[in-house]
């Protein structure tokens, strides 16, 4: 069955509204950052309507379904492979750079988390994996606020740096 978040079911107005919540960095390697609501787990929240009911979905899953042109299966995760940024929604193929959000399984997710814990995380400048839930949410919200009125490189960097290395005293 899959989950009912198929963007194609929501239609063009819902998809256009989604895109208005996304701010793209100018560089080919930059994240595309969600500037809507952020949950206590650090991930975004996007409200949609299905069968007359309000539902909330994770923007990274929604973006990935959009890129794939089909809804994700229940067994499919939207993994942050490049950046590990919970509110990054850069999915699908791009003319420049590579997608940050890709389809994966739970075992790939666990393997990726283990690799990041060992200092992997492939080139990301800021490491999210050492943060606890509250610190992740705080960083996501600071980052979201930094791009509220469009991409601001200095604001993005200071949002990430301000909340970096919370255990370093």
Footprint of Zn ion on residues 78-97 (CB under 5 A)?
Answer: 83, 85, 88, 90
Taking residues 17 to 36 in sequence order and writing x for each that binds Zn ion by CB under 5 A, - otherwise, the string is: --------------x-----
Q: How far is the CB of 50 from Zn ion (least distance, A)?
A: 27
| Touching Zn ion, residues 36-55 (CB under 5 A) | none
Residue 100 touching Zn ion (CB under 5 A): yes
**CA-CA distance, 164 to 91, in Å (whole number)?**
25
d(CA 99, CA 82): 8
Q: Which of residues 113-142 bind Zn ion (CB under 5 A)?
A: none
Q: Is the CB of residue 53 less than 8 Å from the CB of residue 46?
A: no
Q: Between the CA atoms of 78, 109, 38 and 27, what dihedral angle is there, to the nearest 10 degrees?
A: -70
Judged by phi (left if over 0) then psi (alpha if -120 to 50, else beta), residue 65 lies in alpha
CB of 6 to Zn ion, least distance (A): 23
Nearer to Zn ion, 49 or 122 (CB): 122
- Smallest distance, Zn ion to C-beta of residue 90, A: 5
Q: Are 28 and 86 in contact (CB under 8 A)?
A: no
CB 89 within 8 A of CB 102: no
State the nearest-atom distance from the C-beta of 12 to Zn ion, in Å. Answer: 25
Interface ranges with Zn ion (CB under 5 A): 31, 83, 85, 88, 90, 100
């Amino acid at each position: 069955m899959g989950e009912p978040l198929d963007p194609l079911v929501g239609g063009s107005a819902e998809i256009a509204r989604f895109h208005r919540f996304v701010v793209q960095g100018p560089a080919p390697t930059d994240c595309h950052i969600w500037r809507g609501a952020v949950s206590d787990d650090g991930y975004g929240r996007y409200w949609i309507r299905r069968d007359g009911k309000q539902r909330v979905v994770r923007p990274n899953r929604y973006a990935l379904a959009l890129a794939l042109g089909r809804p994700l299966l229940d067994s499919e995760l939207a993994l942050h492979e490049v950046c590990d940024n919970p509110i990054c929604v850069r999915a699908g193929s791009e003319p420049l750079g590579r997608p940050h959000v890709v389809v994966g399984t739970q075992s790939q997710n666990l393997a990726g988390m283990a690799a990041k814990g060992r200092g992997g995380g492939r080139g990301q400048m800021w490491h999210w994996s050492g943060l606890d839930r509250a610190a992740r949410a705080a960083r996501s919200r600071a980052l979201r606020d930094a791009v509220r009125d469009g991409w601001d490189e200095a604001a993005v960097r200071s949002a990430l740096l301000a909340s970096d290395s919370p255990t370093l005293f």
